Amino acid sequence: MSRATKIDQLAGVAGRRDLDSDPDRAEDAGVSLAASAWRRLRRSPTFWVGAIVIGLFVLLAVIAPFIAPHDPALRMLESQVSRASNQLPPPQEGHPLGGDQYGRDLFSRVLLGSQQTLLVALLATVIGLGGGLVLGTLAGAFGGWVDSVVMRAVDVLLSIPSLLLAVSIGALFAQQTQFSVILAVAIVQIPIFARLLRGTMLSVRESDHVLAARALGVKRREIVFRHILPNSLGPVIVQSTLVLAMAILDAAALSFLGLGAADDSTPEWGQMLGNAQEFFDSQPHLAFWPAGCIVAVALGFTLVGESMREALDPRQRR
């Protein structure tokens, strides 16, 4: 199944709000969509596992500067590095994970890496979401040729595998910085959000309350921004949590491929993983810690996203 169809299906599920007026679900009438979604979310162990994982990493990112034992950029164990014999500083007193190939404290770098990784994921998602909202609203509100133009452009972007697209965009920048990574990851997400929002808006546009608003002569601008858009955001919100996970992986992949920030004094997990590559035979723990963190935090966001999608699915509402 192509990504485009998958996104449309997701939009269809969330757009089926009219099920709410089904008389069989009358007992549900006193509970809003958000309230009933939260009620089901609360009972989902998947959600709690994901939320706790994310919570721990966010906490870690906040307190990392205070608990990190050493300056992550300081080459304090450089004397123990021997490039010739592939020797790196082993775990020792004061350096529980040893040092990297420049003799920097690995433990401190893993701790502080959480900041960059979460920041990149968050910014990339916010930018992707913003761009997607603008394009999706344009297409969903105007329809007609605007819709066709926007959607064909989106289709073109969607037809390129996301990582390949991110790599190409990342490579366009003359100077690789953290910002170029953020932008590359964000642009990949824009078409996904745009298509999702547009699909939901099209189905909300046909709903009774929009017809009722039109029958009252409400202006088009208000129909779009007060009556259609707020009712179309559910699937987009769910998608954002899933995109956070994808953004972490994409950003790590870009850094791994050498398209991350050129200056590696600020630790970032993807980049640490890339650097650890050449010592994988002798020092596998160098790769293990950043990789494990990436997997754990991405899994956390995926679990929360999936459980939110289930909770917001109107077919499961009861």
- Under rule CB under 8 A, how many of the chain's residues touch other proteins? 27
Q: Which stretch binds other proteins (CB under 8 A): 30-38, 151-159, 250-258, 309-317?
A: 30-38
| Closer residue to other proteins, CB minimum distance, 95 or 205 | 205
User: Of 27, 152, 217, 221, which lies in the binding site for other proteins, with binding defined by CB under 8 A?
Assistant: 217
175: left (phi over 0), alpha (psi -120 to 50) or beta: beta
| Closer residue to other proteins, CB minimum distance, 84 or 215 | 215
The verdict on 33 binding other proteins (CB under 8 A) reads yes
| Closer residue to other proteins, CB minimum distance, 32 or 159 | 32
Cα 84 to Cα 53, 81, 94, 101: the distances in Å are: 40, 9, 25, 12
The verdict on 18 binding other proteins (CB under 8 A) reads yes
Q: Are 20 and 28 in contact (CB under 8 A)?
A: yes
Angle, alpha carbons 12-18-21 (nearest 5°) = 155
**98: closest CA among 290, 294, 296, 283?**
283
Shortest Cβ 243–other proteins spacing (Å)? 23
Q: Which stretch binds other proteins (CB under 8 A): 91-99, 152-160, 214-222, 260-268?
A: 214-222
| Closer residue to other proteins, CB minimum distance, 36 or 307 | 36
What tokens were used for 65? Answer: 């500067």
Query: What are residue 262's phi and psi, to 5 degrees?
Result: -65, -35
Angle, alpha carbons 296-300-71 (nearest 5°) = 50
The verdict on 4 binding other proteins (CB under 8 A) reads no
What tokens were used for 133? Answer: 């909202």
The verdict on 226 binding other proteins (CB under 8 A) reads yes
SS3 at position 19: helix
User: Of 27, 30, 174, 315, which lies in the binding site for other proteins, with binding defined by CB under 8 A?
Assistant: 30
Q: Are 301 and 56 in contact (CB under 8 A)?
A: no
User: Of 216, 221, 281, 315, which lies in the binding site for other proteins, with binding defined by CB under 8 A?
Assistant: 216
The single-letter DSSP state of residue 27 is: G
Residue with tokens 């304090």: 76
User: Of 55, 90, 161, 230, which lies in the binding site for other proteins, with binding defined by CB under 8 A?
Assistant: 230
| Closer residue to other proteins, CB minimum distance, 174 or 216 | 216
Residues that bind other proteins (CB under 8 A): 17-18, 20-21, 29-33, 207-209, 211-220, 222, 226-227, 230-231
